[in-house]
């Protein structure tokens, strides 16, 4: 097993698909949750408090 950039070529499985709520490719097929906004896990949008200008965005 090689780590680093050459391993990126092995990533052919689609783990995340486009999220219905935030539109990012962060919706996990297996978990049925969105890694970016928390869709499927939380009723509220998962905002990033550490990036205030991004948290202000409305999706
Ligand atoms: Zn999302």
pLDDT digits 0-9 by tens, 13-35 = 899 999 998 889 999 999 999 99
Residue 6 lies in a domain: no
Residue 58: predicted pLDDT: 56
Tell me whether residue 30 is in a domain.
Answer: yes
Binding residues for Zn(2+): 19, 22, 34, 37
3-state secondary structure 7-36: HHHHCCCCCEEECCCCCCEEEECCCCEECC
Find the CATH number of the domain harbouring 23: 2.20.25.30
What pTM did the predictor assign? 0.59
Is there a domain that residue 1 lies in? no
Domain range for 28 is: 14-55
Q: Based on the structure, what is the number of domains in the chain?
A: 1
CA 2 to centroid of ligand 1, rounded, Å: 31
9 C-alpha vs ligand 1 centroid, how far in Å? 25
> What is the strand order of the sheet 16-18 is part of?
16-18, 25-28, 33-34
- β-strand partners of 33: 28
* Binding-site residues: 19, 22, 34, 37
Q: Give the Å distance between the CA of 47 and the centre of ligand 1.
A: 10
Q: Is residue 2 part of a domain?
A: no
């Amino acid at each position: 097993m090689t780590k680093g950039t050459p391993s990126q070529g092995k990533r052919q499985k689609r783990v995340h698909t486009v999220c219905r709520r935030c539109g990012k490719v962060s919706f996990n097929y297996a978990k049925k949750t969105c890694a970016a906004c928390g869709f499927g896990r939380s009723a509220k949008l998962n905002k990033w408090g550490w990036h205030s200008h991004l948290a202000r965005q409305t999706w």
